[in-house]
Structure 1
């Protein structure tokens, strides 16, 4: 399937969480009251719009990039604003507040396996309601919002739309933008209450298998850890039934899957990366999302969109932070030739 795009609009507007990640590589995740050693520390980007926009900038996206959200009036907030300017990301919708500090996350990454544990300070992101975001003043083609479940004001109830996020997404669609959402992975029962109302106003829903399962109730991982491809497809179908207008994309370590409203299924295996290649998994999901949105914006066929998604994710895995490992478009795609793809997934009909 080749995606049709509106010719009179260009660019991606990313709104939601703006976070500074403080990534600490530790030797082991400790039991309570035990010690772990911090082997190294680095600082990087965090949050759906921040990661996706920086990734797109590094890939050399041939379209404008716009930021929307809220940062604190502090040094971390100023770093974010400067980083956006350095990467030619328009910040006219990225506001500053004195009411809360800039959000940050301590990311504890276990050396070797790359498993992550997050200690998050919500900060200014919790206050962003998006009411000042005037979609009539942007020519962007896509509005990407994330993360649902981690934006307190956006997750708040709305009498008409269910949530404030759903209201904002509806406003974007009414203004002529395509909408995209991402969700944070959390261990809770809030998914149906918070995520489902937004899906009625979403064109592109891009989630990982955990989030898709939590939202729809399907168990996508079997007891032995193997991907249940039947449950995966059922979850994608359920997300479409809940209102997603065009495409559901679900990503997972083994690759990615897309289902369109027309019933087309597309599978894409991830790259066969050597064991010592992965230095951290933080940001890989957003990198996949950025690659997929790159292709959707440009009207590529879905197979090519997903291929760039897994290649962008592979680039991200080469660095402990979310976006420092990102490469140019051609360099990302070259990773598939260098390392090859995993064997095609065992698809059960």
Structure 2
């Protein structure tokens, strides 16, 4: 920020009027800005981040609201649970391999896009990775410290415990490699359920972090298949190298063998990650599936708990005995889940969990792990 800002400032190829300062924090000052000339379209620096195939900025929440007195407003998506909360819910036992793979792939794809566009997130941590119930993926959040490569305007970036060596040095320009380092800390935390904040400060970590990662994976070997776990271990090590230039870029890391292994979600995964689809367990038995009249009763009963877009009741394994329902959005499915969970149906307690929309569209029922 500026101590005494100029009255006008040129940004994104436009002239902006800058009045008095609103406030300041430890790393920056905040000023209101007004375009000196009317804006014909949203600023290019924002529209370049619209999803592929979006025909207009308004489709993604960038719209001109009357309530905002004619100013452009960026309406952000309401995201759901964070990776920090997921680990808390798991009682620090670690996440399933399905969830780790899902999160790792989504984060890498996000970083690959950001880095390709020349941006550094600069504050990647568990709390800044949130689940999108509508898009069925993990998304990066909080771009308050982000910057365009070569234009780092904040002296210190990243959060303690996820900070690469370059982030500790005020005279060193950070690159996209600092994001790769942070991701390399998050994954073993998800795997083990342990917070590594104090570990990464130790002299042992500086001397031989590879051995520490090996120890984390060796201690979890009893409950994890060796080959997938070792692929994950190697993926983590590839981003925790001292030399930033030797850390495997996000786009390359997506080709790791770890991402070619098919995993199934656990029941607790499906409870914690909302989607527009619900699945009901402990509802049907073989007689219901074979009896068409009883089948229709199930469908009618299910629709009492919310507007259902479509229903699927598989008559063959692995989905036999379960009911799948697609709602218009995740908000509707979350409301239905609250109404259905714990209810009695034909003398049995209903267990309602969410279900991946992509698998539902393929009519692919996972053999869910308990």
TM above 0.5, yes or no, is no
TM-score interval, smaller chain: under 0.3
From the CA coordinates, give the structure whose radius of gyration is larger: 2
Normalising by the residue count of structure 2, what TM-score does the alignment of the two structures yield?
0.23
TM-score with structure 1 length normalisation?
A: 0.24
The structure with the largest helix share of the pair is 2
- Higher relative contact order (Cα pairs below 8 Å, separated by 6+ residues): 1
Higher strand share: 1
